[in-house]
């Protein structure tokens, strides 16, 4: 027997070809059981009038027709869109700013990383309840500070008026309904969600910044570039892969917001006047609160999946063209 011949049964014949698949089998079982099977089940149930463990009748696409004609669903889509448009730029932009500041030779960098990351590992239930107390109309810290400074307290989580309309009203004007913006209550939830996500994004941005070779900065300084020029021509292009990842993940997570809506708004939840009712809470309400129509809730879930998938593909096809992987 030469040195080139197999020395064990695992290296011979079928075993050698099967071993990679056997190593992949545990992960494949988990993905199939907890990812693919629930998606397939939701797709199947969406065609039936179904409740918990009981399928009553086949209804075809009528659930989707009912969904697309429901004004409450479209209001939840608008509210979710406002939430995404508010929380993603705020969280990503603030995280990038903090990461740039922390990169500049700050002492005890590990301590600052821990401080920024603490909200991420803190229970969202606890975070939401604390911020709900801060925004309380009568006893909250926010109004207490405003009143100490000589201003008038705000309704915060009880205010259904759009923030742009509030600004226009303060100047004596008014805006048409589509331009009034998200309600003040929804803005409060946006601020809390963005604040909680900053720590995770800061860590990702710091990792991206530390992977940029220092000699690029040295060459830019030799050429006479200032701080803004270095950021625009060196840091930002080389940080676009990290930024693209952060934006995509933040967008997906923002469409799935539920906990702060459920815990901070109401009663009724989604208030005031439905201005904080997002798609996931609409799904929860139809599937669990309003008679337990799981078929209808499954249809909502699949429409939400289609929205997120379409937006992610758009980001991959359009936004990724501006990403520099070199």
Whole-prediction pTM: 0.88
pLDDT of residue 7: 53
Residue 280 has pLDDT above 50, yes or no: yes
Residue 307 has pLDDT above 50, yes or no: yes
What does the domain layout of the chain look like in residue ranges?
A: 9-45, 64-322
Q: Can you tell me the mean pLDDT for 246-275?
A: 91
Tokens read off for 270: 């989604």
The model's confidence at residue 48, banded by pLDDT at 50, 70 and 90, is confident
Contacts of 200 (CB under 8 A, 6+ apart): 117, 120
Task: Give me Rg for the CA atoms of the chain.
Answer: 25
Tokens read off for 169: 């009203």
Question: pLDDT for 60-81, tens place per residue?
Answer: 889 999 999 999 999 999 999 9
Question: pLDDT for 204-240, tens place per residue?
Answer: 998 999 888 888 889 988 888 888 898 898 899 999 9
CA distances from 223 to 212, 219, 220, 237, 326 (A): 18, 6, 5, 18, 21
Percentage of the chain lying above the pLDDT 70 cut: 94
The Cα 272–Cα 100 span in angstroms is: 38
Q: Can you tell me the mean pLDDT for 114-130?
A: 89
Q: Can you tell me the mean pLDDT for 278-299?
A: 87
| Three-state SS at 56 | strand
Q: Can you tell me the mean pLDDT for 292-321?
A: 90
Average pLDDT, the chain: 88
Contact 315, 243 (CB under 8 A): no
pLDDT of residue 323: 83
Cis peptide before 272 (omega within 30 of 0): yes
Q: Can you tell me the mean pLDDT for 262-279?
A: 89
Question: pLDDT for 19-46, tens place per residue?
Answer: 888 899 999 999 999 989 988 988 888 8
Residue 271 has pLDDT above 90, yes or no: no
- CATH code: domain 64-322 is 1.10.3720.10
Tokens read off for 300: 């909502």
CA torsion, points 54, 56, 58, 60, in degrees to nearest 10? Answer: -80
The model's confidence at residue 1, banded by pLDDT at 50, 70 and 90, is very low
pLDDT of residue 117: 85
Residue 272 has pLDDT above 70, yes or no: yes
Residue 107 has pLDDT above 90, yes or no: no
Determine which of 106-110, 167-171, 247-251, 259-263 has the lowest per-residue pLDDT on average.
Answer: 106-110
What are 57's strand-pairing partners? 49
Q: Could you tell me which residue, 1 or 239, shows the higher pLDDT?
A: 239
pLDDT of residue 196: 92
Contacts of residues 129-138 at CB distance under 8 Å and 24 or more positions apart, as own/partner, are: 129/263, 131/188, 131/192, 131/260, 131/264, 132/157, 132/263, 132/264, 135/188, 135/264
The model's confidence at residue 84, banded by pLDDT at 50, 70 and 90, is very high
pLDDT of residue 13: 64
The Cα 306–Cα 192 span in angstroms is: 27
């Amino acid at each position: 027997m030469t040195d080139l011949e197999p020395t064990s049964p695992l290296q011979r014949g079928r075993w050698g070809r099967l071993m990679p698949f056997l190593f992949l089998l545990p992960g494949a079982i988990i993905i199939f059981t907890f990812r693919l099977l629930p998606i397939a089940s939701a797709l199947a149930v969406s065609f039936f009038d179904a409740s918990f463990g009981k399928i009553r009748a086949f209804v075809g696409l009528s659930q989707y027709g009912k969904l697309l004609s429901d004004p409450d669903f479209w209001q939840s889509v608008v509210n979710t869109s406002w939430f995404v448009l508010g929380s993603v730029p705020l969280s990503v932009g603030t995280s990038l700013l903090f990461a740039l500041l922390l990169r500049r030779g700050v002492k005890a960098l590990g301590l600052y990383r821990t401080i920024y990351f603490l909200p991420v590992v803190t229970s969202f239930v606890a975070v939401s309840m604390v911020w709900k107390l801060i925004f309380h109309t009568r006893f909250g810290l926010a109004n207490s500070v405003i009143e100490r400074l000589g201003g008038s307290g705000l309704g915060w989580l009880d205010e259904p008026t759009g923030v742009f309309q509030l600004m226009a009203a303060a100047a004596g004007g008014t805006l048409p309904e589509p331009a009034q913006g998200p309600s003040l209550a929804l803005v409060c939830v946006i601020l809390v969600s963005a604040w909680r996500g900053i720590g995770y994004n800061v860590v990702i941005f710091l990792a991206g910044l530390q992977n940029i070779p220092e000699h690029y900065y040295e060459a830019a300084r030799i050429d006479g570039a200032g701080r803004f020029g270095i950021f625009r021509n060196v840091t930002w292009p080389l940080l676009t892969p990290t930024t693209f990842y952060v934006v995509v993940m933040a967008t997906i997570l923002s469409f799935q917001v539920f906990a702060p809506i459920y815990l901070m708004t109401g009663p009724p939840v989604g208030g005031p006047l439905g201005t904080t009712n997002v798609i996931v809470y609409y799904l929860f309400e139809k599937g669990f609160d309003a008679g337990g129509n799981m078929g209808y809730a499954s249809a909502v879930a699949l429409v939400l999946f289609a929205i997120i998938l379409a937006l992610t593909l758009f980001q991959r096809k359009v936004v990724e063209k501006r990403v520099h992987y070199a």
